[in-house]
């Protein structure tokens, strides 16, 4: 059977990172196509608009576009009718796309969208399914926990509207597990944390993207709080590589954290961006950090991916910041 990979969310941040990854592989192989798959099929609500904006990513002999919406089950009923795919990578709901939705719309997009894609994967006789989930499924990181491992069973507070995204992703994970058991589909979960790179939006709710935007376009770099939250950032080139390894080698029924474990607080991040891109500019921090400041953490343990799949971080944060401005 022809090895085909079907991707949902191929025009979002994850999708563009993956397409760049495939293009790089194709350029570096004698067969002028990505490794492992002879054809990459991407579902999009508007393939034409993406092709107009990213013609270098949209046009390749091994790439096929299909117009469909994962939230509209009837639009998926005839997708690739009579064909089969080897694997499905479901990346159609990320935190950027969902930011403007109401909590109810966000939950519906994540859970029902995943159900629709799982049903399509079964119809197309896929053998593997990778869900891009989120570190948000763990809920707030305990103050005494240095890094969150996959064995931690914390959850977001179900009585908070702000928990919708994390709870939706956790529900989608469980739905994948149930569907895999019923239909014999090998399910792998990628719990994704924070990223930086060429396709990161600079005008969304991502601190590092906002700092890079300020370094490029504004007289100073502004930190909205006291700079105490602790984060980590994985380069999108590592992200795409990790996702492909998880898709092919991850153990069925298992979740893997995807991200960096090299932590930095937001204040130091602002100064790192400044020193890297615009050393002549100042950093303005809205509030002073105090001993009473709550150190909000969002730091994964990636020991499982390192041990089981020999995955490692390739690109240091400073290099990833430089890559982000190469647009």
* CA–CA distance, 230 with 39 (Å, rounded to integer): 40
pTM for this entry: 0.94
Q: Residue 93: what pLDDT?
A: 73
* CA–CA distance, 25 with 19 (Å, rounded to integer): 10
Q: Residue 187: what pLDDT?
A: 98
- Is a pLDDT exceeding 80 seen at residue 202? yes
Percent of the chain that is helix, strand, coil (3-state, to 5) = 40, 20, 45
Domain boundaries of the chain, sorted by first residue: 4-196+236-259+300-313
- Is a pLDDT exceeding 70 seen at residue 136? yes
pLDDT digits 0-9 by tens, 3-55? 999 999 999 999 999 999 999 998 876 666 787 899 999 999 999 999 999 99
- Is a pLDDT exceeding 60 seen at residue 293? no
pLDDT digits 0-9 by tens, 259-270? 999 999 999 999
Q: What are phi and psi of 282, to 5 degrees?
A: -95, 160
Domain 4-196+236-259+300-313 in CATH 3.40.50.1820? The answer is no
- Is a pLDDT exceeding 80 seen at residue 130? yes
* CA–CA distance, 56 with 310 (Å, rounded to integer): 31
Q: Residue 48: what pLDDT?
A: 94
pLDDT digits 0-9 by tens, 154-194? 999 999 999 999 999 999 999 999 999 999 999 999 999 99
Query: Torsion angle, CA of 68/69/72/75, rounded to 10 degrees?
Result: 0
Residue 101: pLDDT band by 50, 70, 90 thresholds?
confident
């Amino acid at each position: 059977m022809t090895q085909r990979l079907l991707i949902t969310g191929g025009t979002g941040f994850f999708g563009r990172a993956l397409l760049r990854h495939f293009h790089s592989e194709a350029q570096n192989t004698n067969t002028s196509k990505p490794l492992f798959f002879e054809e990459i099929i991407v579902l999009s609500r508007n393939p034409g608009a993406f092709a107009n904006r990213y013609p270098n990513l949209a046009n390749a002999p091994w790439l096929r576009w299909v117009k469909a919406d994962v939230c509209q089950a009837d639009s998926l009923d005839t997708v690739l009718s009579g064909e089969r795919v080897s694997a499905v990578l479901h990346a159609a709901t990320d935190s950027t796309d969902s930011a403007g939705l109401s909590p109810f719309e966000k939950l519906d997009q994540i859970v029902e969208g995943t159900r629709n894609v799982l049903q399509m994967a079964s119809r197309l006789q896929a053998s593997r399914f990778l869900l891009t989930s989120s570190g948000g499924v763990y809920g707030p990181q305990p103050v005494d926990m240095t890094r969150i491992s996959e064995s931690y069973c914390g959850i977001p507070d179900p009585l908070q509207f702000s928990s919708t995204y994390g709870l939706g992703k956790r529900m989608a994970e469980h739905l994948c597990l149930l569907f895999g058991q019923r239909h014999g589909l090998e399910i792998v979960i990628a719990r994704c944390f924070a990223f930086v790179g060429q396709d990161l939006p600079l005008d969304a709710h991502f601190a590092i993207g906002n700092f890079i935007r300020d370094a490029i376009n504004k007289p100073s770099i502004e930190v909205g709080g006291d700079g105490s939250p602790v984060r980590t950032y994985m380069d999108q080139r590592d992200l795409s590589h990790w996702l492909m390894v998880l898709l092919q080698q991850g153990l069925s029924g298992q979740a893997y954290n995807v991200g960096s474990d090299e932590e930095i607080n937001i204040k130091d991040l602002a100064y790192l961006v400044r020193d890297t891109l615009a050393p002549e500019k100042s950093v303005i921090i809205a509030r002073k950090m105090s001993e009473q400041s709550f150190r909000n953490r969002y730091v994964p343990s990636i020991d499982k991916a390192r041990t089981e799949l020999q995955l490692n971080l390739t690109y240091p944060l400073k290099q990833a910041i430089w890559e982000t401005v190469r647009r």
